[in-house]
Amino acid sequence: MSSNMIFLNLPVADLAATMAYYKALGFEHNPDFTDETAACIVISEAIFVMVLTHDKFRQFTPLPIADAHRQTQGLYALVQDSREAVDAIAARGLAAGGSEIREAQDHGFMYSRSIADPDGHIWEYFWMDMSQQQG
């Protein structure tokens, strides 16, 4: 196991629906870390999203679970290879039940779309042309 891995833990209301949503985005799950209370969504070799039922999530924190439809818990940014790839993953997310929370942002050197998953967790898909960065 690499020391540079990240596991993002998200509470979800409907585990099966959430797994179907992320599969529609093109991500698989790791069956070794998946059961009726949690699923490990594989984003890359170093990035994983643990989607946990509310009961399971509560085992890890004494704090209340925020309603991500009404409050921002965080913004999860995931780089894409091109503007077209940003639009493609956004389209898959929208088709699978996600919602666009603001218009696409085009800054010339950077392009992004903000898509909330069915539980309201906001994913920022973006592309950036590093050659246009000013130093």
Q: Which regions of the chain are under pLDDT 50?
A: none
For CATH 3.10.180.10, the residue range(s) in the chain are: 1-60, 73-135
* Beta strand pairing call for 47-53 and 38-42: antiparallel
Q: What are phi and psi of 95, to 5 degrees?
A: -65, -25
- 132's CB contacts (< 8 A; 6+ apart) are 108, 109
Task: List C-alpha distances in Å: 6 to 9, 45, 46, 55, 65.
Answer: 10, 10, 6, 22, 21
pTM beyond 0.85: yes
CATH number of 1-60: 3.10.180.10
pLDDT at 44: 95
Residue 62's DSSP bridge partners are none
pLDDT at 4: 82
Task: Say which CATH topology domain 73-135 has.
Answer: 2,3-Dihydroxybiphenyl 1,2-Dioxygenase; domain 1 (3.10.180)
